[in-house]
Each structure stands twice: as structure tokens, then as C-alpha cells.
Amino acid sequence: MSEAPARGNFIAGLNRGKEMGSKDPDFTGRLGVPGREHEHRLVLWTHRDSRGRAYFAGSINGLPIDGNALAQIERLADQHQTATGEVLEVAPNLELGPRQVILFHNGFKEPQATDTPEEAEKRAKRPDFWGRLNPGDGTPGVALSVWLRTDRYQNPLLTGSTSYPIPGRTDGLDEQAPDQASAETGRKGRRRSGDEGRDER
């Protein structure tokens, strides 16, 4: 029996402190790179693709979240040695700069007229968004599966998981939504440019 693939956590809540017209991120939170102990702060901005659908672009902080100040300094020193600063092809025809994150609308979740009740139920469990992360340290790109939820105040909440892409497997077909949790604040990052709104249908 094969082992389950390593996964990391993903959560981002609405930045309720953002003022109208501000350039602050729309969502702040954290994510974990699969197989690593610590998570990273995450910031996201909301955009629209060429079809008018919402998507998210942002970045993670290079330092992991850790209450140990000395450990953070050590990781900062390691980061200067391992950071590549290179653009990474994280999926076919999709490149991201170091520590950049992108989330696209999941076309595989949209209902189809030919769906049987079983197929419709299966489709409804799929993530609302799929995406990629370039960790920025020379390691491979990370796949993101994200579901749209609401927090206790009925604000939008993005929850999901990270994993390494499986060769031959299409993005957006996961069917297990994560448990809902609370979001954290993050720090502003850099917006991605280029192939906006790429669809997986």
C-alpha cells in the first residue's frame, strides 16, 4: 500500500482592516509547504481574469512562522544561501517568481447538464480554486487546492491544502475539503503578472 502524499495547510481570511482604495492585501493567512514543520505568512490580492472570474495572486513571506527568534535568524541566513531568485515553471505555460502564489477558478467544479446525480455530487466536492506556489528556494512548485467557506462573521474564508503535483493528474479534481479554521494576518507581497486566469477545462 502506497503512502499518502505529504500535504501542508492553507488558510486565508478577509483583511477586515483594509480601507477602500488601499493597496493592502485583500486576504491574509498562512500556508505550509508539504513535508515541512513550519508555515509561512500569506497575502493575496483579488483580480479578474479575461472571463470576468475572480482569481487571487500574492506571495508568502520567506521566513517561516516561528516564535523562536534565534531560529528565525538562522533560517534567514540559510535563506540567503538557498534562495534562487529564479522564475519557476510551476505548471505547463505557468511561471511564477520566487515565493509567488496564484489561485485560479476551478472549471472542473462547474455543473454540467449531462451530469448524473452521482457525478454532480462528486463535482460539488471539488475545490473552488486550484493554484501553484513557487517556494523560492530551489525546490519544486507546490500545488494548491482551495475551498471557499465563511468564517464566524460570515466573511469569505479560503481553506485548503498544499501538495506536490502528481505527474499525469489534472488540477482541480480533489474531493476532500479541509476542516474550517481561523485565519491570521500576513504581510504585503508582490503581484504576479502574465498568464492571468488560466483555466483547467
Per-residue pLDDT tens over the stretch 100-151: 999 999 999 999 999 999 999 998 999 999 999 999 988 999 999 999 999 9
* DSSP strands (E only) in 21-155: 27-32, 39-48, 54-64, 88-91, 94-96, 100-105, 129-133, 142-150
Q: Please determine, for residue 177, whether its predicted confidence score (pLDDT) is greater than 70.
A: no
CA 43 to chain centre: 10
Amino acid at 171: D
Do residues 20 and 41 make contact, with C-beta atoms less than 8 angstroms apart?
no
Mean pLDDT for all residues in the chain = 83
Q: Is the dihedral of CA 148, 151, 153, 155 positive or negative?
A: negative
Do residues 12 and 32 make contact, with C-beta atoms less than 8 angstroms apart?
no
Q: For 58-62, 74-78, 100-104, which range has the lowest pLDDT when averaged over its residues?
A: 74-78
pTM over cut 0.85: no
Do residues 81 and 62 make contact, with C-beta atoms less than 8 angstroms apart?
no
